[in-house]
Amino acid sequence: MGNKSRKRDIRQLSLEQLIVQITDFGEKPYRAKQVYEWLWKKSATDFNEMTNLSLRLRELLRRNYSINNLVMEDEQVSDDRTIKSGFRLYDDNIVEGVLIPTESRMTACISSQVGCSLSCKFCATGFLERKRNLEPGEIYDQVVLINRQAEKKYGIPLSNIVLMGMGEPLLNYSNVAKGIERITSGNGLNMSPKRITLSTAGIAKMIRKLAEDKVKFNLALSLHAADDRKRNSIMAINETNSLDALQDALHYFHIHTNNQITLEYIAFKSFNLGNEDAKNLVKFTGKFPCKINIIEYNPIGRGEFQKADPEEMDNFTCILEKKGLIVKVRRSRGKDIDAACGQLANKSQRSITK
């Protein structure tokens, strides 16, 4: 590890804490606001960039603190223009993020943890060890770097952010909330929270906490089966967060926030697309309005699941639509570079940048 790891990341300080530190250095309190702006509005990665500060103050900051910014380690470009990036953290861990360009939007898919502890059987990240939570600055940095990538490659800034990358965001809620605050604040990147979606495997008590905190971003539940027996078999988290508990929590979330709820539903061949599965899904949605994304399964090399046939997906979708549900079939992007949903696993630490 470099020197950064032996000093406290200055981005761990709140503005109030930064004011105390700056005045302890013998500087005026307004200098703290200048530092804060450099960190969160201008995304500075070096104290020497802070040119409206005195050399003395910059040196004091450098001696006492680090800025543990992410570094883009590698980049892979898909045939469909999706870009997967590996980001190196200050402690040499790697996380992955994805830029997903479409005709109507530029979306950053970002990570919240190094690895994951939930071990969902269809997700490549679930087979990795969870090493640690990402810090707010590391969540923020992914957005900064992917936005620069979008502007450089396609001339268009980010329009949307989804926390659907590596890790379970609600098991790192405090840092995720702080990261989102920096991304959405007028003192930060000033992005609309309505353009942000947090995706969870389903932790009922934390969904309720989101409601009580009256978050302004959107929520997506990775459902994939509306039957407890089936869901238990693919997602161990369901054993302690039953569908009834999740249904009540999502109802609670909607009542308190009125924010959009999305149900993500991966289509597995001969597993979760039968008539009874559709009936169970309709029943699950009975307490709250939502939209449903039917997602193509993306193989992860373990062979336990297969991609559903188009006819099977179409039949399932038609049943849901006849019941009045809003359904969208999401075709996978970035499959050729293992950047599609469920495939992030750091397979490649080095790749050719196109």
What residues are labeled active site? 96, 341
Name every residue whose Cβ is closer than 8 Å to that of residue 4 and which is 6 or more positions away in sequence. 66, 67, 68, 90
Q: Are 66 and 8 in contact (CB under 8 A)?
A: yes
Nearest to 172 by CA among 212, 199, 193, 191: 199
Q: Is 221 exposed, middle or buried (0-12, 13-18, 19+ CB in 10 A)?
A: buried
**170: its two tokens:** 């609600």
Q: For residue 191, which amino acid is it?
A: M
Q: Are 268 and 305 in contact (CB under 8 A)?
A: yes
**Could you give the maximum distance between any two Cα atoms of the chain, in Å?**
71
Q: What is the dihedral sign for C-alpha 234, 240, 243, 249?
A: negative
**313: its two tokens:** 């997906």
Q: How many CB atoms lie within 10 A of CB 26?
A: 9
**77: its two tokens:** 């470009």
